[in-house]
């Protein structure tokens, strides 16, 4: 259920929308954001534990509808051209955000990589069921550039396995 693979080869129907979306607490988001109920509980626990280390984690983007992703993708193409846009943004129907399982955390640029929050997430997110979805050095597998801010819920068991083996969701599901 939480190991669904959504990528350039595995698309969602344009009408797909989870029926258990709940609003992320304002304490842990920068704007109105929705996640699947179980994912939201795990994200809240993750954020509360990060606070114990004086780290402030906020969701900046969660669920996105097909239409929202379509408009976003079109804008990226206008900004940077088709090839570059396709390496850093998903086509509509190909975005994990449509599943309600993906979260962009704090800010969506590469400078997040050098923050204490990013380092903490890399070493702790799996304990809550999250994986760094687009890791550095695995672009040839995921099809997307390294995104240190993009985390995906897969459940604790799968996240622990992936963390220990340092593999992507594609590798875990043998879809390489």
* Domain range summary for the chain, segments of one domain joined by +: 21-172
| pLDDT attached to residue 134 | 96
Question: Under 8 Å CB-to-CB from 39, ≥6 apart: which residues?
Answer: 2, 100, 101, 103, 129, 153
Nearest to 151 by CA among 171, 134, 169, 173: 134
Active site residue 147: yes
Low-confidence ranges of the chain (pLDDT < 70): 176
Q: Which pLDDT score, from 0 to 100, does residue 109 have?
A: 73
The residue from 139, 147, 170, 171 that is catalytic is: 147
Architecture of domain 21-172: 2-Layer Sandwich (3.30)
The pLDDT value given to residue 87:
85
What's residue 53's pLDDT?
94
Contact present, 5 and 169 (Cβ < 8 Å)? yes
Q: Is 34 within 8 Å of 23 (Cβ atoms)?
A: yes
Instruction: Report the C-alpha gap between 43 and 52 in whole angstroms.
Output: 15
């Amino acid at each position: 259920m939480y190991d669904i693979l959504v990528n350039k080869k595995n698309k969602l129907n344009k009408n797909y929308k989870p029926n258990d979306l709940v609003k992320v607490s304002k304490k842990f988001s920068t704007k109105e954001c929705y996640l699947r109920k179980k994912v939201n509980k795990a994200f809240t626990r993750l954020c509360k534990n990060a606070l114990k280390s004086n780290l402030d984690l906020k969701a900046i983007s969660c669920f996105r509808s097909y239409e929202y992703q379509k408009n976003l993708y079109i804008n990226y193409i206008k900004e940077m051209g088709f090839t570059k846009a396709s390496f850093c943004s998903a086509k509509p129907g190909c975005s994990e955000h449509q599943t309600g399982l993906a979260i962009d955390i704090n800010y969506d640029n590469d400078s997040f990589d050098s923050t204490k929050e990013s380092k903490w997430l890399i070493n702790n997110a799996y304990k809550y069921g999250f994986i760094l979805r687009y890791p550095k050095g695995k672009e040839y597998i995921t099809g997307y550039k390294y995104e240190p801010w993009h985390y995906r819920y897969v459940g604790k068991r799968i996240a622990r396995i992936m963390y220990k083996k340092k593999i992507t969701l594609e590798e875990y599901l043998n879809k390489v």
